[in-house]
Amino acid sequence: AQSVAQPEDQVNVAEGNPLTVKCTYSVSGNPYLFWYVQYPNRGLQFLLKYITGDNLVKGSYGFEAEFNKSQTSFHLKKPSALVSDSALYFCATTGGSTLGRLYFGRGTQLTVWP
């Protein structure tokens, strides 16, 4: 079965510092990987995806993620965090025999303090 793991429930970072939100995956076959962000009482907003091609993927709001096949990781990064980046971040995957259904991590609460 496909799965993703987000090892940190919370990440705290100062505004202006770089941020990383970690994600590892387990997928049979080629993975399709996604990052979504959720603000309080809202739906999920798409940030970026990896399907194939360059390992460094650039997305919305200055976020990027690096696909690392050897480490089965897809960490979300941003060079300079903003207070407005504070939200709940979800990593997700689909692929293999269950291509279509999205499997989500537990989510990581990012707090950027001024």
Partner 1 sequence: EAGVTQSPTHLIKTRGQQVTLRCSPISGHTSVYWYQQALGLGLQFLLWYDEGEERNRGNFPPRFSGRQFPNYSSELNVNALELEDSALYLCASSLPLGGYGYTFGSGTRLTVV
Q: Which residue ranges make up the site for partner 1 (CB under 8 A)?
A: 32, 34, 36, 41-46, 49, 51, 90, 94-95, 98-107
Q: Which is nearer to partner 1, 70 or 101 (CB)?
A: 101
Alpha-carbon span 52 to 96, nearest angstrom: 14
> At its nearest, how many Å lie between partner 1 and the CB of residue 17?
27
> At its nearest, how many Å lie between partner 1 and the CB of residue 56?
19
Alpha carbon dihedral 20, 45, 26, 5, in 10-degree steps, equals: 50
Q: Which is nearer to partner 1, 45 or 80 (CB)?
A: 45
Q: Are 22 and 75 in contact (CB under 8 A)?
A: yes
